[in-house]
A and B are shown apart, each in its own frame.
Chain A
Amino acid sequence: MPTNVLTWMIFLPLVGAIVVLCLPRNAANLIRGTATFFTIPPLIMAVWLYQHFDRATSDMQFVTKIPWIPSFNIQYFIGVDGISITMVLLTALLSFICIIASFGIEKAMKAYFALFLLLDAAMMGVFCALDFFLFFVFWEVMLLPMYFLIGIWGGPRREYAAIKFFLYTMVGSVLMLVAMLALYFYAEPHTFDLLELASRSGSYSTGFQRIAWIGLFIGFAIKIPAFPFHTWLPDAHVEAPTAISVILAGVLLKMGTYGILRINYPILPAATLDFAFYLLIALGTWNIVYGALCAMAQTDFKKLIAYSSISHMGYVMFGMATMTSEGINGAVLQMFNHGTVTAMLFLLVGVIYDRAHHREINGFGGLAGIMPFYTGWTALAFFAAMGLPGLSAFISEVLVLLGGWRSYPALTIVSASAVVLTAGYMLWTMQRIYLGKANEKYVGLPDINGREIFTLVPLGIIVVVLGVYPRPVLDLINASLVHLNQVVAGKAQVALATAGNMVP
Chain B
Amino acid sequence: MIEVVFGGAELRAVTPLLVVVVTAMISLLYEVFNEDHSDPARPVWLSLVGIVGGIVATVALWENGHSAFHGTFALDGVSAFTNVVCLLAAGLSLLMAPGYLTSIGVRAREFYPLVLLAASGMMVMGGARDLIVLFLGIEIMSIAAYVLAGIHRTDVKSGEAALKYFLLGAFATGFLLYGIAILYGATGSTGYDAIAAALPKASKLLVLGGVALLIVALGFKVSAVPFHFWAPDVYQGAPTSVTALMAVGIKAAAVVGFARLFIVALAPLHQDWAMVVWWLAVLTMTVGNVTAVAQNNVKRMLAYSSIAHAGYLLAAIVAGTPRGGGAVLFYLLAYTFMNVGAFAVVISLGRKGEANEQFDDYAGLASRQPLIAAAMVLFMLSLTGIPPLVGFVGKLYLIEAIVQAGYIWLAVIMVLNSAISAYYYLRLIFEMYMRDPAGPASAMEPAPLLIACLLLATVGTIFFGIFPDAPLDFARNSFLALR
The answer to whether B469 touches A140, judged by C-beta atoms less than 8 angstroms apart, is no
Would you list which residues of chain B between 380 and 436 have a CB under 8 Å from chain A?
A: 381, 384, 386-388, 392, 396, 399-400, 403-404, 408, 411-412, 415-416, 418-419, 422-423, 426-427, 430, 433-434
The answer to whether B430 touches A159, judged by C-beta atoms less than 8 angstroms apart, is yes
Tell me whether chain B's interface is mostly helix, strand or loop, or mixed: helix
Would you list which residues of chain B between 443 and 462 have a CB under 8 Å from chain A?
A: none
Closest B residue to A141 using CB positions: B387
The answer to whether B400 touches A181, judged by C-beta atoms less than 8 angstroms apart, is yes
Chain A positions within 8 Å of B430 at CB level: 151, 159, 162-163
- Assuming the contacts A178-B399, A178-B411, asked whether A140 and B387 have C-beta atoms less than 8 A apart, the reply is yes
Stretch from A166-174, A339-347, A375-383, A486-494 forming part of the interface with B: A166-174
* Chain A 166-208: CB-based contact to B (< 8 A → 1; otherwise 0): 1100110011011001101100000000000000000000000
Chain A positions within 8 Å of B109 at CB level: none
Bound complex: CA of A67 vs CA of B440, how far in Å? 51
Bound complex: CA of A163 vs CA of B429, how far in Å? 11
**Minimum Cβ distance to chain A for residue B478 (Å):** 14
The answer to whether A71 touches B476, judged by C-beta atoms less than 8 angstroms apart, is yes
Bound complex: CA of A71 vs CA of B393, how far in Å? 13
Closest A residue to B418 using CB positions: A174
- The yes or no answer to B350 lying at the interface (CB within 8 A) is no
Would you list which residues of chain A between 69 and 92 have a CB under 8 Å from chain B?
A: 69-72
The answer to whether A178 touches B415, judged by C-beta atoms less than 8 angstroms apart, is yes
**Minimum Cβ distance to chain B for residue A321 (Å):** 26
- The yes or no answer to B437 lying at the interface (CB within 8 A) is no
* Chain B 172-185: CB-based contact to A (< 8 A → 1; otherwise 0): 00000000000000
**Minimum Cβ distance to chain B for residue A114 (Å):** 11
Chain B positions within 8 Å of A143 at CB level: 386
Chain A positions within 8 Å of B468 at CB level: 69
The answer to whether A182 touches B408, judged by C-beta atoms less than 8 angstroms apart, is yes
**Minimum Cβ distance to chain A for residue B463 (Å):** 14
The answer to whether B434 touches A158, judged by C-beta atoms less than 8 angstroms apart, is yes
**Minimum Cβ distance to chain B for residue A161 (Å):** 11
- The yes or no answer to A147 lying at the interface (CB within 8 A) is yes
Interface size on B, residues (CB 8 A): 30
- The yes or no answer to A356 lying at the interface (CB within 8 A) is no
The answer to whether B403 touches A182, judged by C-beta atoms less than 8 angstroms apart, is yes
- The yes or no answer to B472 lying at the interface (CB within 8 A) is yes
Chain B positions within 8 Å of A147 at CB level: 426
The answer to whether B419 touches A174, judged by C-beta atoms less than 8 angstroms apart, is yes
Tell me whether chain A's interface is mostly helix, strand or loop, or mixed: helix
- The yes or no answer to A144 lying at the interface (CB within 8 A) is yes
Bound complex: CA of A72 vs CA of B469, how far in Å? 9
- The yes or no answer to B473 lying at the interface (CB within 8 A) is yes
**Minimum Cβ distance to chain B for residue A142 (Å):** 10
The answer to whether B422 touches A151, judged by C-beta atoms less than 8 angstroms apart, is no
Chain A positions within 8 Å of B386 at CB level: 140-141, 143-144
* Chain A 36-64: CB-based contact to B (< 8 A → 1; otherwise 0): 00000000000000000000000000000
Chain A positions within 8 Å of B387 at CB level: 136-137, 140-141
- Assuming the contacts A137-B387, A144-B381, A177-B399, asked whether A71 and B426 have C-beta atoms less than 8 A apart, the reply is no
Bound complex: CA of A71 vs CA of B326, how far in Å? 13
- The yes or no answer to A148 lying at the interface (CB within 8 A) is yes
Q: Which among A71, A141, A148, A182 has the highest number of chain B CB atoms within 10 Å? A: A71
The answer to whether A178 touches B388, judged by C-beta atoms less than 8 angstroms apart, is no
Bound complex: CA of A147 vs CA of B422, how far in Å? 12
Chain A positions within 8 Å of B426 at CB level: 147, 163, 166
**Minimum Cβ distance to chain A for residue B398 (Å):** 11
Chain B positions within 8 Å of A141 at CB level: 386-388
Chain B positions within 8 Å of A170 at CB level: 384, 418-419, 422
**Minimum Cβ distance to chain A for residue B171 (Å):** 36
Closest A residue to B477 using CB positions: A71
The answer to whether A171 touches B411, judged by C-beta atoms less than 8 angstroms apart, is no
The answer to whether B415 touches A175, judged by C-beta atoms less than 8 angstroms apart, is yes
Chain B positions within 8 Å of A171 at CB level: 416, 419
Would you list which residues of chain B between 65 and 122 have a CB under 8 Å from chain A?
A: none
Closest A residue to B423 using CB positions: A167
Bound complex: CA of A141 vs CA of B433, how far in Å? 18
Contacting A177 at CB < 8 Å: which of B384, B415, B472, B476? Answer: B415
Would you list which residues of chain A between 122 and 165 have a CB under 8 Å from chain B?
A: 136-137, 140-141, 143-144, 147-148, 151-152, 158-159, 162-163
| B residues apposed to A, CB below 8 Å | 381, 384, 386-388, 392, 396, 399-400, 403-404, 408, 411-412, 415-416, 418-419, 422-423, 426-427, 430, 433-434, 468-469, 472-473, 476
Pairs of residues from A and B, 6 with the lowest C-beta to C-beta distance, nearest first: A174-B415, A137-B387, A181-B403, A170-B419, A171-B419, A170-B422
The contact sample of 25 A-B pairs, CB cut-off 8 A, is A70-B469, A137-B388, A143-B386, A148-B433, A151-B434, A159-B434, A162-B430, A163-B423, A163-B427, A163-B430, A167-B422, A171-B416, A174-B418, A174-B419, A175-B412, A175-B415, A175-B416, A178-B399, A178-B408, A178-B411, A178-B412, A178-B415, A181-B400, A182-B403, A185-B404
Given A140-B392, A151-B434, A174-B418, 8 other A-B contacts at CB below 8 A? A69-B472, A137-B387, A144-B386, A162-B434, A167-B422, A170-B422, A178-B412, A181-B400
